[in-house]
């Protein structure tokens, strides 16, 4: 379609579908939501982080707004605000999307409606929509021209090509099929198509393995006994939500696992990994699921599940540490009951609940994905893992929409408890550092961080919390400038002040200054093994005074800033006095740990 798009000529449903498709192509992380109340308009939500979102509210209005339409927008904003409260997120910006540019009066009215709450308002009107249309013409052609018919036509060509007897040469056949797939990719705004001719040595069966983004797949057998694999792939994560593939099929579960998946899907609407099926009717022509005889076996991996909108929020509660809010990502129902799954803000803890309609309770399952902790905010990790650590053996309450649904014992396995406690301890230390540091350090890769890095983070956090650290030492080195060699009396009490710096990978955070105090018994000069031109003064402990060092944080005053990185030595205290100082510091550290528990 060329020229200006006459938006007023098209149905509201088509306009909303087109606008939602534009946004999903522009914002690849967009999720479709539909508030349980209100006018039923389409909303797309984009998570900027675990607690902050952008919202796109889509409206079909293409002519000057009337009072009734303004009332719909106001109602949408109010319902959306309630939805985000239930989701425990803050709206960063609210985009009102429609093929209509605002008047000055309309823009002023909309900003007054939204921005009093601290949310940024954006009117994505006709100019923005026409820009999207120029960028994604296949969407316009699909809805307002003959795009749908062209997709069906090329899909039919793809099927018939596989059955042509003169295409027995694999190279020729694959090139022709790829040309057809390339045309389909340009025409279909929702799905891409992948095809390749299998080698005669490829012994995979007709049920193709799962692949990311693939919603349907099958293997066709050509007249020459060759085999062709065809996949249908979502172009965006919500393509099958915006434009679901509708067909009738017969699930042919064979193994016990497949039968269990099929049963859970029918009885509770639970999603499944993959199931063998026969497509027996298809209103939407696709190059998979159907062969020339109208019936074809394949693997089905994504269905338009019977989604429930009644569950808006979920949380776990234990009086010892409060409430852990969860994000509901799936809620379904079937013939026997309902199912929902939810995850925490870090997406590393996932809980699922299967409710049996004829009973008062249900079953709880949960799983951990510790590998997803990388780059999460330390405060989010603390919030989740504090709850899991402190409530590991407790009876906790599952709340759905603020109402108690089930009491159950968390009962984590011993190996999981060990991991949870380790993650919690590291997250608490990192959050302490982030509160004091000049920049935020994200959570590290839990499986790659070294013991030394963990110890450094925890020691820095202890200092920042006001704790005195006593540690054993064997030697300390200081760089020497020029040819000068310090002349100390031994034993000597030595002090120095250095920055507290925490380094993780390429990131480093400065947190303050710490003073180290110890007694040296001897020293020697040595050359740096890497740089021969640099010399070091290596300090060693005194046999009588021992090898204990005391480290404590100091305020960043003028004297501290002047004396940083400088080694100061004085006559040591009496031996008994030094041992008393060390004992008092160790006792203080123990008392601090007890108070922190």
Residue 146, pLDDT > 90, answer: no
7-144: what CATH class?
A: alpha beta
CB-CB contact of 518 with 494 (8 Å): yes
DSSP state of 374: T
Average pLDDT, the chain: 83
The per-residue pLDDT for range 431-468, each reduced to its tens digit, is 999 999 877 889 999 999 999 999 999 999 999 999 99
Residue 87, pLDDT > 80, answer: no
Instruction: Give residue 349's pLDDT.
Output: 96
Residue 535, pLDDT > 60, answer: yes
Distance of CA 55 to the CA centre of its chain: 18
Residue 542, pLDDT > 70, answer: yes
End-to-end CA distance of the chain: 68
Give the residue-averaged pLDDT of 31-38.
Answer: 59
Give the residue-averaged pLDDT of 44-70.
Answer: 89
Share of the chain above pLDDT 70, in %: 82
* Residue 300 CB coordination number (10 Å): 23
Residue 285, pLDDT > 70, answer: no
- Of 217-226, 285-294, 328-337, 558-567, the one with minimum mean pLDDT is 285-294
Instruction: Give residue 173's pLDDT.
Output: 73
Instruction: Give residue 305's pLDDT.
Output: 46
Q: How far apart are CA 389 and CA 52, in angstroms?
A: 26
The per-residue pLDDT for range 351-399, each reduced to its tens digit, is 998 888 767 677 889 899 999 999 999 999 999 999 999 998 899 999 8
Q: What are phi and psi of 81, to 5 degrees?
A: -60, -40
Residue 206, pLDDT > 70, answer: no
Q: How far apart are CA 128 and CA 347, in angstroms?
A: 33
**Taking the CA of residue 535 as centre, how many other CA atoms within 13 Å lie in the half-sphere pointing to its CB?**
12
Residue 590, pLDDT > 80, answer: no
pTM of the model: 0.64
Long-range Cβ contact pairs of 184-187 (< 8 A, separation 24 or more): 184/151, 184/154, 184/155, 184/158, 184/287, 186/138, 187/138, 187/141, 187/142, 187/147, 187/150, 187/151, 187/154
> pLDDT band for position 422 (50/70/90)?
very high
Give the residue-averaged pLDDT of 9-37.
Answer: 84
Residue 541, pLDDT > 70, answer: yes
**Paired tokens of 428:** 């608490």
Give the residue-averaged pLDDT of 2-18.
Answer: 87
Q: How far apart are CA 396 and CA 563, in angstroms?
A: 53
CB-CB contact of 585 with 550 (8 Å): yes
**Residue 322 burial by Cβ neighbours in a 10 Å radius (0-12, 13-18, 19+):** middle
Strands 52-58 vs 90-97: parallel, antiparallel or unpaired: parallel
> pLDDT band for position 294 (50/70/90)?
very low
Residue 491, pLDDT > 70, answer: yes
Domain boundaries, the chain: 7-144, 147-300, 314-428, 452-596
Q: How far apart are CA 309 and CA 278, in angstroms?
A: 30
> pLDDT band for position 288 (50/70/90)?
low
More confident residue, 350 or 173: 350
Instruction: Give residue 595's pLDDT.
Output: 39
Residue 568, pLDDT > 90, answer: no
Instruction: Give residue 528's pLDDT.
Output: 59
Using CA atoms, how far residue 465 sits from 169, 301, 550, 593, 595, in Å, is 73, 51, 16, 11, 12
């Amino acid at each position: 379609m060329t020229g200006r798009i006459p938006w007023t000529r098209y149905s509201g449903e088509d306009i909303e579908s087109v606008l939602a498709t534009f946004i999903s192509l522009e914002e690849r992380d967009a999720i479709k939501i539909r508030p349980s109340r209100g006018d039923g308009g389409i909303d797309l939500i984009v998570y900027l982080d675990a607690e902050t979102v952008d919202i796109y509210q889509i409206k079909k209005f293409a002519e000057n707004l009337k009072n009734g339409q303004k009332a719909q927008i106001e109602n949408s904003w109010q319902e959306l605000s309630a939805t985000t409260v239930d989701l425990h997120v803050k709206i960063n910006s609210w985009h009102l999307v429609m093929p209509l540019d605002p008047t000055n009066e309309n823009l002023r009215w909309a900003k007054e409606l939204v921005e009093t709450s601290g949310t940024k308002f954006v009117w994505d009107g006709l100019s923005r929509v026409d820009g999207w249309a120029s960028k994604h013409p296949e969407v316009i052609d699909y809805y307002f021209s003959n795009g749908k018919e062209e997709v069906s036509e090329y899909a039919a060509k793809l099927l018939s090509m596989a059955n042509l007897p003169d295409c027995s040469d694999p190279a020729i056949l694959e090139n022709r099929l790829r040309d057809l797939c390339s045309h389909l990719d340009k025409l279909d705004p929702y799905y891409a198509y992948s095809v390749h001719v299998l080698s005669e040595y490829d012994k995979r069966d007709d049920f193709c393995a799962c692949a990311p983004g693939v919603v349907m797949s099958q293997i066709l057998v050509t007249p020459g006994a060759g085999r062709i694999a065809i996949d249908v792939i979502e172009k965006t994560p919500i393509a099958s939500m915006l434009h679901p593939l509708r067909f009738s099929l017969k699930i042919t579960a064979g193994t016990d696992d497949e039968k269990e998946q099929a049963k859970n899907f029918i009885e509770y609407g639970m999603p499944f990994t993959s199931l063998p099926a026969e497509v027996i009717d298809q209103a939407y022509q696709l190059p998979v699921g159907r062969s020339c005889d109208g019936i074809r076996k394949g693997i089905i991996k994504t269905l338009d599940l019977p989604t429930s909108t009644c569950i808006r929020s979920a949380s776990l509660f234990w009086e010892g540490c409060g409430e852990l809010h969860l994000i509901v990502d799936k809620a379904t129902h079937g013939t026997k009951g309902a199912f929902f799954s939810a995850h925490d803000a870090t997406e590393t803890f996932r809980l699922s609940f299967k409710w049996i309609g004829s009973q008062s309770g249900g079953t709880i399952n949960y799983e951990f994905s510790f590998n997803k902790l990388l780059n999460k905010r330390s405060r989010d990790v603390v919030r989740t893992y504090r709850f899991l650590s402190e409530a590991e053996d407790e009876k906790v309450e599952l709340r759905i929409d603020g109402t108690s649904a089930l009491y159950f014992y968390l009962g984590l396995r011993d190996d999981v408890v060990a991991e949870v406690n380790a993650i919690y301890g590291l997250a608490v230390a990192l959050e302490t550092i982030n509160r004091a540091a000049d920049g935020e350090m994200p959570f590290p890769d839990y499986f790659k961080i070294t013991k030394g890095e963990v110890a450094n983070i925890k020691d820095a956090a202890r200092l920042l919390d006001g704790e005195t650290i006593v540690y054993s030492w064997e030697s300390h080195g200081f760089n020497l400038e020029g040819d000068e060699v310090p002349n100390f009396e031994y034993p000597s009490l030595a002090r120095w002040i250095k920055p507290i710096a925490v380094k993780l990978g390429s990131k480093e955070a400065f947190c303050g200054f710490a003073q180290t105090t110890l007694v040296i018994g001897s020293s020697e000069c040595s050359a740096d093994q890497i740089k021969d031109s640099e010399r070091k003064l290596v300090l060693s402990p005194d046999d009588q005074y021992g090898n204990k060092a005391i480290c404590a944080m100091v305020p960043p005053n003028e004297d501290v800033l002047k004396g940083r990185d400088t080694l100061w030595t004085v006559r040591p205290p009496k031996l008994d006095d030094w041992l008393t100082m060390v004992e008092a510091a160790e006792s203080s550290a123990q008392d601090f740990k007890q108070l922190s528990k």
